[in-house]
Amino acid sequence: MTFTNLGLSQKVLDATVAAGFNTPTPIQLQAIPAANEGRDIVGIAQTGTGKTASFVLPMLTRLETGRARARMPRSLILEPTRELAAQVAQAFEQLGVNHKLNVALLIGGVSFDEQNRKLDRGADVLIATPGRLLDHFGRGRLLLSAVEILVIDEGDRMLDMGFIPDIEKICSTLPTNRQTMFYSATMPKEVQKLADKFLINPKRIEVGQVSSAATTIIQRLKFSPSDIKVKREVLRDLINVSGVKNAIIFCNRKRDVGILLKSLLKHGYNAGGLHGDMEQRDRTATLDAFRRGDIALLAASDVAARGLDIPDVSHIFNFDVPITPEDYVHRIGRTGRAGREGYAATLVTPSDMDAIRAIEKLCREKIEWIDGEPSPEALEEARGLGGRRGGRSRRGASSDKPERAGRERSASRGSGRERNGAAPRAERPERAEQPERAEAAPRAEKAERSETPRSSRRDRADAPARGERRERTPRAEPREQQAEAAPRNEPRAPREHNGRGRGNHGAPQPTPNTVVTSTDRMAPPHRERSRRREKEEPSVVGLGEHVPAFLMTPIRRTK
């Protein structure tokens, strides 16, 4: 069977020949004819079986007629990671060499402006991660009402990364008469529910044993003590004796990727690193260097475990046993692709034995040990050697008990207080002194009241309560000036300004129709000195001839 019998257009057939695709894989044989008929598809196959070409080739054939309008893509492909999205875009460039299709790639870590320009030109094929797609949609830069074909790739990985709610939101904005193709390496219940919700009478294509590794991959287990330094030595021994051309070394944590990379570089290996916290340009540059052969060893997290098509990876090393058995299948699937032979070795510490049994149960086969399976005595000895010296459990936590870790954290907090010069909480004397302070406070307040002048007390007594507005009260004038003052309801004659701003002493001046209270007659001594100075040097203060007219009008009070 060749591609000529699958109903593809001549342009697509010419592109497959130029790309070196001669014989279709089993999933391509079943998926391409169904896709050409417009049917919904559920494809289940292990990684490296040609799933990408099984939806790219029929999409190219269908999109030969018609053009996309601005901001309204004709087809949509959702990928869980940036690397997978970029890889699918490269597949369209390779297999769509005879087509003039606009392909837009929407992933994080790239400028919105460049992506907006591609959308404005009209995208026949839109490849995106769910988060960046919703960002563009929320900004009003994208309309999904013209999508004819939807592809959800790596459905189980979407579930693991928490993208299922985003996919449901995206699918609710798409036309109901679209064609949907759903691909996944495994099919847990949650993923099956998603497929049943958005696919109509799909054709189910299941190639090979579900959740099994390719038969061309040689799998081995290597026992190692838990001590992290000894474990790195075991890894270097494996690399040196395995005849490695190039290899991907997987760690469970991004932090451990950086530590392992430093160790490899220190010992003279040509290595690079790849994990999710890296900038997109650095991730792309590292992958390109690994594909070209500039980097022989790639220390990576599970971001490189799903769907990355690096054709000729000779070895896979699991420095950490994967957290789930399915991740093991995805990791070792980076080697032995397209019928090539591959080699995968996993370092196993005493705490990883249960995880290895779960992997063997999923793959339904027994994995051989290098140098034989460890005996119970060797397991106990390895636990004693490395359990308390930097050993890591399968989930990346310390191998010590949680209670001990809690005590160490408490001790570290206590030592931090001592370094800062503060006594521990139990040794501080402040709590014992609090009753004395409570009794001393009223005595101090009473003494303060006895030393306060009476005039100050009156001022506080006459002060308005919180929230009330204080009336502006004029400063008391000498009795001679009060006798000559104008009647209460008549305006005062304008005075000349002396050029000193608000007065000789900076106090606000009285306004018409204000009442002099008895409090002002009992002014403190500093006010008496001010009055004497004014009497000796009479000066006219206030607004002077600049008094507004409305202040000159007497105010009549109603009874």
* Burial (0-12, 13-18, 19+ Cβ within 10 Å), 248: buried
Q: What sign does the dihedral 354-356-360-366 (CA atoms) show? A: negative
For the stretch 425-433, contacts whose Cβ atoms lie closer than 8 Å and that sit 24 or more positions apart, written own/partner, are: none
Closest CA to 391 of 233, 237, 224: 224
- For the chain, which residues make up each domain, given as ranges? 3-207, 217-400, 479-509+518-548
Q: What is the mean pLDDT of residues 274-297?
A: 89
Rounded CA-CA distance 219/345 in Å is 6
Q: Which residue has the higher pLDDT, 86 or 330?
A: 86
Helix or strand (DSSP H, E) at 19: helix 10-19
DSSP state string for 212-281: ---TTEEEEEEE--S-HHHHHHHHHHHHHHTT-SSEEEE-SSHHHHHHHHHHHHHTT--EEEE-TTS-HH
What is the pairing mode between strands 125-128 and 75-78?
parallel
Helix or strand (DSSP H, E) at 180: strand 179-184
Give the model's pLDDT for residue 143. Answer: 94
Give the model's pLDDT for residue 337. Answer: 75
Answer yes or no: are the C-beta atoms of 243 and 342 closer than 8 Å: no
Q: Which residues contact 193 (CB under 8 A, 6 or more apart)?
A: none
- Hunting for tokens 């008391």 — which residue is that? 476
Give the model's pLDDT for residue 463. Answer: 46
Rounded CA-CA distance 10/64 in Å is 11
Closest CA to 224 of 347, 387, 359: 347
Answer yes or no: are the C-beta atoms of 336 and 190 closer than 8 Å: no
Backbone phi and psi for residue 305, each to the nearest 5 degrees, phi listed first: -90, -20
- Topology of the domain covering 3-207: Rossmann fold (3.40.50)
Residue type, 383: R
The yes-or-no verdict on residue 503 having pLDDT over 80 is no
The yes-or-no verdict on residue 174 having pLDDT over 70 is yes
Q: Which residues contact 354 (CB under 8 A, 6 or more apart)?
A: none
Rounded CA-CA distance 362/356 in Å is 10
Of 1.10.357.140, 3.40.50.300, 3.30.390.50, 3.40.50.20, which CATH number belongs to 217-400? 3.40.50.300
Task: Specify the 3-state DSSP secondary structure of 151.
Answer: strand
Range with the poorest average pLDDT among 75-79, 165-169, 513-517: 513-517
Angle at 237 between CA 234 and CA 242, to 5 degrees: 125
pTM of full prediction above 0.85: no
What is the pairing mode between strands 297-300 and 125-128?
unpaired
In this chain, the answer to whether the domains covering 3-207 and 217-400 adopt an identical fold is yes
Answer yes or no: are the C-beta atoms of 547 and 494 closer than 8 Å: yes
Q: Enter the tokens of residue 15.
A: 């592109």
**Cα maximum dimension of the chain:** 124
Quote the crossing angle between the two packed helices 376-386 and 228-241, to the nearest 10°. Answer: 120
The yes-or-no verdict on residue 139 having pLDDT over 60 is yes
Percent of the chain with pLDDT strictly greater than 90: 44
The mean pLDDT of the chain is 77
Give Cα 310 to chain centroid, integer Å: 28
Helix or strand (DSSP H, E) at 184: strand 179-184
Q: Enter the tokens of residue 108.
A: 């994080």
The yes-or-no verdict on residue 541 having pLDDT over 90 is no
Q: Enter the tokens of residue 219.
A: 């799998």
- Hunting for tokens 């999923």 — which residue is that? 362
